[in-house]
Amino acid sequence: MPGLQLSTLDTVALAIFAIAWLAYEPLVKAALGRRHMINLDMAVIRSAWMGNMARRESRLMDSQLLGHTINSASFFASSNLILIAGAAGVLFGGESAFRSASSLIVIETSTRLLFEVQVALVLVTLARGLLDFIWAIRQLNYTIAVIGAAPDEAVGLASPYGSAAGRLLNPALSAFNAGVRGYYFALAAASWVFGSTAFIIATLSAVALLIWRQRSSAAAKAIAELRTLIENAPAPTAISEAPTSDKPAEPR
């Protein structure tokens, strides 16, 4: 970018952030392998949910649970829009926004152009999260249709239908998780205005916190235990209806 001069530490901090933000999920999976972590364990649990859904006679509960998930994604998407509007207001605030920010002692920004790049990074991070939420909502709406179209157990398609439904639900909630994860990195991006050192610390702290919650939090341990229980449970058997006869029952 013409006129923009980044120090060596700023360049290193930006590179660390880009790698952590854009390649977080594949890097974490490569580092931790297939060991227990919330995202992997929840994929198994959600697949089991869809399998049970396909075998249920009444799917009202499944629709209500999915509706709650859509409401949560919509709430986060709306909040994201508000934050994007706020960041855009600062970005396009011109000289007055730069003077107001640079007047604060804790803010470390050398030029207006650098300040705009710092705010723009926050804006782009939030925008990517918004796109994740939108894609999650669309896929969740597809899943609602899949639940509504689920055949009766008597058709004999419960197992493959539930498996396919799980492969639709899992990417939807993975996109939702990516949107939520965007808030962590947006906060890390915002720390750049406090200096490149703060930027590096905030980025590494965000990654460390995410990995700890994925692997070592109380929720992660409980979910890992539940996954083990599901995987070790006996395979469900199809419930066949008792044969019916057209002959009327004899009076007793």
pLDDT of residue 249: 47
Q: How far is CA 123 from the centre of its chain?
A: 18
Q: Is the pLDDT of residue 245 over 50?
A: no
Residue 5 located in a structural domain: no
Mean pLDDT, the chain, rounded, equals 85
> Which residues, including other chains, have CB under 8 Å from residue 17's CB and lie 6 or more apart?
121, 185, 188, 189, 199, 203
Residue 19 located in a structural domain: no
Residue range 42-78, pLDDT digits in tens: 999 999 999 999 988 888 899 899 999 999 999 999 9
Residue 248 located in a structural domain: no
Q: Is the pLDDT of residue 163 over 80?
A: yes
pLDDT of residue 152: 80
pLDDT band for 90, please (50, 70, 90 cuts).
Answer: confident
What is the number of domains present in the chain?
A: 1
Q: How far is CA 137 from the centre of its chain?
A: 11
Parent domain of 40: 35-232
pLDDT band for 89, please (50, 70, 90 cuts).
Answer: confident
> Which residues, including other chains, have CB under 8 Å from residue 218's CB and lie 6 or more apart?
none
Residue 23 located in a structural domain: no
Residue 210 located in a structural domain: yes
Q: Is the pLDDT of residue 240 over 80?
A: no
The predicted model scores a pTM of 0.83
- For residue 240, which phi and psi values (nearest 5 degrees)? -95, 140
pLDDT of residue 108: 62
Residue 74 located in a structural domain: yes
Answer yes or no: are the C-beta atoms of 165 and 53 closer than 8 Å: yes
Residue 118 located in a structural domain: yes
Residue 250 located in a structural domain: no
